[in-house]
């Protein structure tokens, strides 16, 4: 008989994860991927639970937490409303995760904003800057803060680690981009460098903090861009892989960074971009 492959627990066995912006796009894909890898509980945090964006199948229209519970068993996911720019919302969503599961192991700061066809900076209303920074930078700061408070006061995970933070940054946080994207680029650079700073400050506490830098990825937020013929052609020309990324491909990286497979990984900004940054 040929040798049998070793038996392994699911990669996120018994972990509790909190994911913001979980109702659609990348956040939804991460929530579903985490449940498929054995999480004890996925807390789906968003302003509303309804799925939005492309709906090609009846399941695409289902709320993320409902879909997880249907696929993987009742009680495996819950929706909690959270405005990530407000500290009160973070206190409540972290408390709810701990109330239901006893601890929090993984935070994914995914919620973000970024509009299509902003004007150039000298014509831009200050409200655009304020909104973008409130969600994409302040929201990440608050999420990290309240997750760190919980990580530090709970017993370590069986691996010895106290927690995993994954912040969804962007290739635009490494390189700039034309077309009125200044606030978005600035906010994602803040997200990326905050991740590195946290990784250094909390390494001794065995808390991982990493960022993922997606390239051009099809989601509800980018729908207007990939449906715009000229904008779509520009994105494809800038991507060596020759296509848009899929939310599931970002989710695969988020699974790795929340698992023991990344036991010696912290402080990275991992591009998942079809070669865009290599150009």
DSSP per residue over 4-37, as a string? PPPP---TTTT-EEEEETTTSHHHHHHHHHHHHT
| Nearest Cα to Cα of residue 141 among 201, 206, 190, 200 | 190
Does residue 142 belong to any structural domain of this protein? yes
How many angstroms from the chain centroid is the CA of residue 16?
Answer: 15
Classify each residue of 49-75 as buried b or exposed e, where b means 16 or more C-beta atoms within 10 Å of its C-beta: bebebeeeeeeeebbbbebbbeebeee
Does residue 226 belong to any structural domain of this protein? yes
Question: pTM value?
Answer: 0.93
Task: Report the domain count for the chain.
Answer: 1
How many angstroms from the chain centroid is the CA of residue 91?
Answer: 19
Check: CB of residue 214 under 8 Å from CB of residue 171: yes
Does residue 161 belong to any structural domain of this protein? yes
Does residue 1 belong to any structural domain of this protein? no
* DSSP strand pairing (207-214 vs 41-46): unpaired
Residue with tokens 């296509």: 243
Specify the pLDDT at position 6.
44
Q: Chunked in runs of 10, what are the mean pLDDT values of the chain (279 residues)?
A: 53 96 96 97 97 75 96 97 97 98 98 82 93 97 98 94 98 87 94 98 98 89 71 83 93 98 98 92
Does residue 100 belong to any structural domain of this protein? yes
* DSSP strand pairing (106-109 vs 77-81): unpaired
Does residue 84 belong to any structural domain of this protein? yes
Specify the pLDDT at position 3.
47
Q: Catalytic pick from 118, 184, 202, 276?
A: 184
Specify the pLDDT at position 9.
66
Contacts of 264 (CB under 8 A, 6+ apart): none
| Nearest Cα to Cα of residue 15 among 270, 257, 269, 265 | 257
Told to judge if 202 belongs to the known catalytic residues of this protein, a careful annotator would answer no
The domain in which residue 93 lies consists of: 16-273
CATH code where residue 40 lies:
3.40.50.720
Specify the pLDDT at position 1.
46
Specify the pLDDT at position 55.
65
Does residue 8 belong to any structural domain of this protein? no
Does residue 125 belong to any structural domain of this protein? yes
Specify the pLDDT at position 59.
84
């Amino acid at each position: 008989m040929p040798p049998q492959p070793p038996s392994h627990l699911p990669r996120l066995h018994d972990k509790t994860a909190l994911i913001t912006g979980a109702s659609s796009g990348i956040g939804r894909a991460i929530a579903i991927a985490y449940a498929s890898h054995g999480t004890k509980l996925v807390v789906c945090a968003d302003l509303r639970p309804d799925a939005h964006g492309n709906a090609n199948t009846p399941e695409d229209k289902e709320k993320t937490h409902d879909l997880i519970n249907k696929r993987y068993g009742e009680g495996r996911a819950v929706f909690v409303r959270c405005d990530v720019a407000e500290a009160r919302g973070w206190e409540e969503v972290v408390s709810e995760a701990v109330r239901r599961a006893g601890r929090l192991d993984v935070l994914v700061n995914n919620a973000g904003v970024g509009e299509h066809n902003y004007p150039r900076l000298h014509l831009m209303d200050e409200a655009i800057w304020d909104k973008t920074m409130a969600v994409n930078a302040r929201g990440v700061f608050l999420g990290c803060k309240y997750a760190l408070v919980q990580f530090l006061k709970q017993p370590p995970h069986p691996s010895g680690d106290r927690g995993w933070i994954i912040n969804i940054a962007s290739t635009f946080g490494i390189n700039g981009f034309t077309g009125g994207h200044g606030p978005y680029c600035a906010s994602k650079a803040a997200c990326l460098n905050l991740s590195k700073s946290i990784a250094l400050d909390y390494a001794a506490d065995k808390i991982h903090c990493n960022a993922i830098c997606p390239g051009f990825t099809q989601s509800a937020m980018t729908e207007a861009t990939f449906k715009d013929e000229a904008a779509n052609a520009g994105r494809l020309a800038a991507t060596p892989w020759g296509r848009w990324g899929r939310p599931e491909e970002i989710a695969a990286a988020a699974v790795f960074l929340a698992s023991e497979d990344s036991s010696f990984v912290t402080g990275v900004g991992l591009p998942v971009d079809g070669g865009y940054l290599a150009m």
